[in-house]
Structure 1
Amino acid sequence: MFWVLLLVLAWAFTGLACTRLCLAAMRTAAADREAAAAGHERDLTLYEAAFLSGGPARVADLTMVSMARQRRLLLAHTGWATVVDPLGHDEMEQSVIGAIGPEGQSRIAPVRTAAAGTEAVRRLADGLVRAGLAIPDDTPVTVAAGLRQVRAAAPVVLALGATALLMPTETGMPRSLMALWFALPLGLALSCLAIARIEGHSATRWASPAGQRLLGALNRRRARGGSRDERSFLTSVAIRGIRAIGEPELRAAFTHRDQPWRE
């Protein structure tokens, strides 16, 4: 009867994951209704779009790319950042300059980490949370985390089921019936994933449904306007990250940020 214990474990993994996903979806839907009732439908700034798309680190990346495009920050292909203009135009730029330090030069990776954790980014995040556009940090389980747990439960059920089928049994239970029992929790997990996809729940860590709608609207306007002007380029970086950078030298500065420096 050891296979029954494996079946109980399969149901436990699946039931817990699906319950967490459902509760997260309910909390998200309630927050979305509150945001809609409060009328928080507006245009996003580039910093807000960056945060909702990729979190604090994306805000730091956008700030550095914007400064580099204006020749006020030099981002070398070796992964180093050098300050050209020490006067930041806003608090995000001031945060990046402060993260680089008084010597005016630093590796990009630590600058990115330090700038992402500054008070300016925290205030940006708090404002988006109050507006119902971002997911609070203290949310017990987000929809994104719930989806990951349900996706992880499916292979666990398969592994437990395969183990039970490969074990010798003394109860005379037909293998086909045993497989059917394990198919039930697997079907529950797959059904939850299918419903989440139909209802449009995406695995985003930062943006609430209201924030996702504004990001979608911003992205559509960017697509209609093309990528010829500077704002369209920066909008692409805010939404897609450094993979939207087409300039080889500038992109190399970020792709080499985690490699050790060689003299």
Structure 2
Amino acid sequence: MFWVLFLLAAWAGVLVSCARLLRAATRAAEPAPGSASSHHHAELSLYEAAYLAGGPMRVADLTLLSMQRERRLLLAHTGWATIVDPIGRDPHERSVLGAFGPDGQSPVPALRYTVAEDDAVRDLADRLGEAGLALSEGVRDGIDEGIRAVQGATLLVLAMAAASLAVPPEETSATIVLVWFLLPLILSLSCLGIARFDGHLHSSWASPAGQRLLIALDEEGGEEESLTAVAVRGVRAVGDPGLRAALGYGNRGRIPGQRDQ
């Protein structure tokens, strides 16, 4: 019955990690101090919707696409951007223009990261947090750490099961041993599945109040390729494959060379 010790270790890891993830999820579901209930979805700006749906990088994508559609910026499928109109109409656009070099060209990934890390995005996040619509950084980190803990516990269950099978069981078949280890494995995988399901349908940046506004905005949104659709659903709502390719350089971490232009 030495394998029972391995089973207890597996159960301990799963229960502790699942409790950690549950505690983080409960904290995220708690109403944040603010006036979220009075913030109607019709009042959400596109930048606010973009941040709640996808965070700073979504705000960057929305800014670039908005400027491109107004012919004030050219985004090439090669991953380079060119200034057409050097006048920014809001702080996010001004952060884009400030990232260009003297030749008026810049790699799209550099622009995206500049906009995402600009003070304008931080101010936007602070306003949404004060309104109770956005999760704080601590809450987001807690959820991410909880998910990683459950993932680690899943690997622990598999390792303990393998160790149990390596030790010849006394009066217990290998099938019975695996069945017992299947129980904590199902629990850990179920927690991961629920976390992935919630993260797919809802934003990890928005509080429950913010998620409700996003759902309502998405249901009442315009055409599939509108800026509202891009703000809520991301670059996948863009129909032009060239624009998706331009923004895809940043998503893949690629910095195009000058000769690509």
- TM superposition score category, shorter chain reference: 0.7 to 0.9
Q: Which residue of 1 aligns with 2:231?
A: 238
d(CA) in 1 for partners of 2:156, 2:88: 51
Counterpart contact for 1:78–1:261, Cα < 8 Å: no
CA deviation map 1:206-260 (0-9, x unaligned): 11111111110110001xx434xxxx61011112222221123323322345253
d(CA) in 2 for partners of 1:170, 1:78: 60
With the length of structure 1 as denominator, give the TM-score of the two structures.
Answer: 0.82
Alignment coverage as a number of residue pairs: 253
Q: Which residue of 2 aligns with 1:19?
A: 19
d(CA) in 1 for partners of 2:36, 2:226: 33
CA deviation map 1:98-144 (0-9, x unaligned): 12244321111111111110000000011111111111112274446
Counterpart contact for 1:57–1:116, Cα < 8 Å: yes
Q: CA-atom RMSD, angstroms?
A: 2.9
- Compared CA separation, residues 114 and 164, structure 1 to 2 (3 A): same
Displacement of 1:262 in angstroms is: 5.7
1:173 aligns with 2:166: no
Q: Which residue of 1 aligns with 2:38?
A: 39
d(CA) in 2 for partners of 1:161, 1:30: 37
Q: Which residue of 1 aligns with 2:223?
A: 226
Counterpart contact for 1:95–1:118, Cα < 8 Å: yes
What is the percent sequence identity of the aligned residues?
Answer: 50
Q: Which residue of 2 aligns with 1:127?
A: 127
Q: Which residue of 2 aligns with 1:30?
A: 30
Q: Which residue of 1 aligns with 2:256?
A: 260
- Compared CA separation, residues 196 and 67, structure 1 to 2 (3 A): closer
d(CA) in 1 for partners of 2:25, 2:114: 32
- Compared CA separation, residues 49 and 261, structure 1 to 2 (3 A): same
d(CA) in 1 for partners of 2:159, 2:87: 58
d(CA) in 2 for partners of 1:145, 1:53: 20
Q: Which residue of 2 aligns with 1:247?
A: 240
Q: Which residue of 2 aligns with 1:157?
A: 157
Q: Which residue of 1 aligns with 2:60?
A: 60
Q: Which residue of 1 aligns with 2:70?
A: 70
1:136 aligns with 2:133: no
Counterpart contact for 1:142–1:205, Cα < 8 Å: no
Counterpart contact for 1:144–1:202, Cα < 8 Å: no
Query: 1:132 is paired with a residue of what secondary structure?
Result: coil
Q: Structure 2: any 5+ residue segments left out of the alignment?
A: none
Query: 2:47 is paired with a residue of what secondary structure?
Result: helix
Q: Which residue of 1 aligns with 2:79?
A: 79
Query: 1:94 is paired with a residue of what secondary structure?
Result: helix
1:106 aligns with 2:106: yes
Counterpart contact for 1:36–1:210, Cα < 8 Å: no
Q: Which residue of 1 aligns with 2:10?
A: 10
Query: 2:81 is paired with a residue of what secondary structure?
Result: strand
Pick from 202, 205, 218: which aligns with 2:199? 202
d(CA) in 2 for partners of 1:177, 1:241: 47
Q: Structure 1: any 5+ residue segments left out of the alignment?
A: none
Displacement of 1:149 in angstroms is: 4.1
d(CA) in 1 for partners of 2:15, 2:24: 14
Counterpart contact for 1:24–1:142, Cα < 8 Å: yes
